Chain A
Amino acid sequence: MKASVSAGVAGLLFALGLGLAGMTDPDKVLGFLDVAGAWDPSLAFVMGGALAVHAVARRFILRRKAPVLAASFPVLGKMQVDGRLVSGATLFGVGWGLAGYCPGPALTALGSGTRSALLFGVALWAGMGLFSLWERARQAAAARATVPVETLRARGG
């Protein structure tokens, strides 16, 4: 319960930060990405401000043995750069450059209730859902592929 309240507060703060920063205005985002046109560099300051605060804060936070409301801090997963990372980031970048919304601002813009925000939001959730279905199908296929030969024979396969 407490964990949901703190996550909700963090989400609210995040949205207000995005709004103040200018990230919720697709025109501004596209202006930042338009390096060959009338480039608007202001959004570089968003990342600068966020990085400065977070890089310092996390150093202090990680001195604790555990988070306040959870058993442990996250364990980092993959460390190596792979094809999935690069192709995923590329697909994301193309979509970002087409519409001017990345996931945080898109979910925040749902609160504005405008038609373009709702349409993008539905497609965003659909894209994430499609990925989850694809990933599950792949994992199921991989699990089938590693079934011992004896089991397959017993099944008549």
Chain B
Amino acid sequence: MVHPFVASLLGGALIGLSAALLLLLNGRIAGISGIAGGLFFPARGEAGWRLAFVGGLVAGGVLLAAFAPGVFGRGAVVSPALLVVAGLLVGFGTRLGNGCTSGHGVCGLARGSTRSLVATLTFMAAGALTVFVVRHVLGGVQ
């Protein structure tokens, strides 16, 4: 088994390559929340490639589940109610903020965007603060 740092670096490189492929061939930014969110009320000709990309992601998940199920770990181990709240926040928040880890954290930072730098620092800080409160203040709410 390779060192986790190396696996993460290689996985990251694959993500960067995928984003490059989408830019080179489709002329699109690989921001997952933007691609998926654009499926609501899509303009003409905007639905097909978005559906295909999301389908590719899910198909990748099916392949991973078949050949490397360990990559999903234990899944999310929080109560169903908290999981729903978290999903709503991630869905609404990434659309309001025009991007997520991929669109701001990879594509935006790669082109040196100030907006993306601010967004990335903000969601990293908010995520870290949330984990801090849940784990070290409340003592692990499930």
Contacts and interface: CB of A to CB of B under 8 A. Distances in A.
Bin the interface of chain B by size. 35 or more
Nearest to A91: B93
A20 B48 CA distance: 27
Interface string B96-112: 11101110111101110
A57 B17 contact: yes
Contacts of B122: 85-86, 89-90, 93
A58 B11 contact: no
Dominant secondary structure at the B interface:
helix
Given A16-B60, A67-B25, A130 B12 contact: no
A7 B59 CA distance: 13
Contact of B97 (A17, A73, A92, A106): A92
A111 B59 contact: yes
Dominant secondary structure at the A interface:
helix
A146 B27 CA distance: 35
Contacts of A110: 58, 61
Given A57-B20, A86-B118, A113-B65, A127 B87 contact: yes
Interface string B27-45: 1111011001100110000
A21 B15 CA distance: 9
Interface of B: 4-30, 32-33, 36-37, 40-41, 48-65, 68-69, 71-78, 80, 82-98, 100-102, 104-107, 109-111, 113-115, 118-120, 122-132, 134-136
Interface of A: 3-28, 30, 33-37, 40, 42-55, 57-58, 61, 64, 66-74, 76-81, 84-104, 106-117, 119-133, 135-136
